[in-house]
Amino acid sequence: MFSETRISQFRDHTTPFYFYDLDVLKQTLQQIDKHGIRKGYHVHFALKANHQPRILEEIRKAGLGADCVSGGEVQRALDCGFEPHQIAFAGVGKRDSEINLGLEHDIFCFNCESVQELQVINELAEAKDCTARVALRINPNVDAKTHKYITTGLDENKFGINEEDLPLIFELLPTLKHIDLIGIHFHIGSQIEELKPFRELCDRANSLNQVFSDKGIQLKVINVGGGYGINYADPDGNAIPDFEHFFGLFDEHLNLRDDQELHFELGRSVTGQCGSLITEVLYTKHGRQKNFAIIDAGMTELIRPALYQAKHSIQLLTPISTETDTYDVVGPICESSDTFRTDLEFPKLERGNLLAIRSCGAYGEVMKSQYNLRQGIDSVFSVDLD
């Protein structure tokens, strides 16, 4: 991924910065098109994973829609050229102003997460004398087998409508004159590396689709969300997720009527492997028990290791020594949690070495902060260097 020419060009930029390889992104989008979109599936990209306008441009051109979880993301999608009919708006806590933004632009769908939210959307739509298209996000109680902070489909999670609430919703629907119920929606978690949870989701979706049909409600949309993971351990060997088997599973196990649409909301699997955080070694420090490589990127630039105990592959771009040593790679923030990896073996590091923290194209730059009054960082794209 990193040629000698590209590494030398990195020296022209102040570290730390995010680097995006648009060739990897385009190859990923081609596979999504081949195995998903060409089958007639609708794929919305989750802006919470990455909202860089240059990235969104490529995603929009590839035929994906937008999955948004805030009014700001809805506005970013509109500003980046996504059509309103391509935008789905999810989120467990939508403010009235955010709902009104969606109503004003007549977006494709609100993914509604509670009985009360359904009533509020109806009230706001009535005030505007319009109708809101809605999909009910139902909690399927499927264990995604992922980190507890990014599991969203269990009974204990805050997301979605519990199945026990459906009788009340069926009772309310005839009174909600400004709601057009078009579908049901699910999202069971993030960074799901096995297909088994998605197989279980198909069974739950089939069952619930039948429940609505038995009530005389013919749903147009079945939205199975996203959550498909990437390989953080081997970003070059597994740069593109196995979309053939991912989409194929739903093709085989989801029972859709001919008039029903299947929607996905993919994020990490689209952009995760195209981004890297480029950082410089500020100091090496030899402690009593450990050696430390102190770099100029911190948890302010990439919070995943501190928040989720995530392990990103770290690549030395400018080796000098043939001797090796073991280091904890740490940032400059005044927190002991500001640690990227522990006990990594590298060619002996020196001040000024460049490192690439890989697989940062999703939930990297979007989660940066200015804690410790850290200055902002730049984004660099492969096209800028070629």
The CATH number of 273-385, from 2.40.37.10, 3.40.50.300, 3.20.20.80, 1.10.3720.10, is: 2.40.37.10
d(CA 328, CA 341): 6
Between CA 133 and CA 275 the distance in angstroms is 35
Instruction: Convert 13-43 to b/e letters by CB count within 10 Å (16 or more is b).
Output: bebbbbbbbbebbeebbebbbebbbeeebbb
Report, in angstroms and rounded to the nearest whole number, the Rg of the chain calculated over CA atoms.
22
CB–CB of 306/345 below 8 Å?
A: no
**23-271 topology per CATH:** TIM Barrel (3.20.20)
One fold for 23-271 and 273-385:
no
Residues of the chain with pLDDT under 50: 144, 146-155
Q: What is the residue extent of each domain of the chain?
A: 23-271, 273-385
